[in-house]
């Protein structure tokens, strides 16, 4: 799927992360301990596993090089590693 920056992102309306629990997908504004981050990310990723648009979300995050939060079931480090692995040698 080719992504167009001017095109509305319809899949977001069907995303499982919408709603009151959306904040767990991004780091808090105050520092969090490593264990708190791990638990928050695990909760977010478990929601991603149930999401019908998870692959669209991940594709979008990779395309825009999103640097924060859980997108498509992956955190920023996992997405960066995925991009590096896919980069031409």
Is 42 a domain residue?
A: yes
Angle at 6 between CA 66 and CA 3, to 5 degrees: 55
Q: Judge whether residue 1 has pLDDT over 60.
A: no
How many distinct structural domains can be found in the chain? 1
> Is residue 41 a part of any domain in this protein?
yes
Does residue 7 form part of some domain? Answer: no
Query: 62: which 2 tokens?
Result: 């990779």
Q: How far apart are CA 41 and CA 38, in angstroms?
A: 5
- Confidence band of 2 (pLDDT split at 50, 70, 90): very low
**Cα distances (Å, whole numbers) of residue 76 to 13, 21, 41, 72:** 22, 19, 11, 11
- Please give the pLDDT value at position 86: 87
Task: Report if residue 6 sits inside a domain.
Answer: no
Please, what is the end-to-end C-alpha distance for the chain in angstroms?
A: 24
Task: State residue 9's pLDDT score.
Answer: 80
* Residue 10 pLDDT grade (very low, low, confident, very high; cuts 50, 70, 90): confident
Q: Which domain holds residue 62?
A: 12-86
């Amino acid at each position: 799927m080719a992504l167009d920056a001017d095109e509305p992102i319809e899949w977001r309306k069907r995303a499982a992360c919408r709603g009151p629990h959306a904040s767990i997908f991004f780091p808090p504004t105050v520092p969090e301990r490593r264990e708190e981050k791990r638990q928050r990310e695990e909760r977010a990723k478990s929601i991603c596993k149930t999401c019908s648009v998870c692959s669209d979300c991940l594709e979008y995050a990779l395309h825009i090089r999103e640097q924060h939060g859980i997108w498509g079931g992956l955190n920023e480090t996992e997405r960066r590693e995925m991009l590096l692995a896919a980069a031409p040698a």
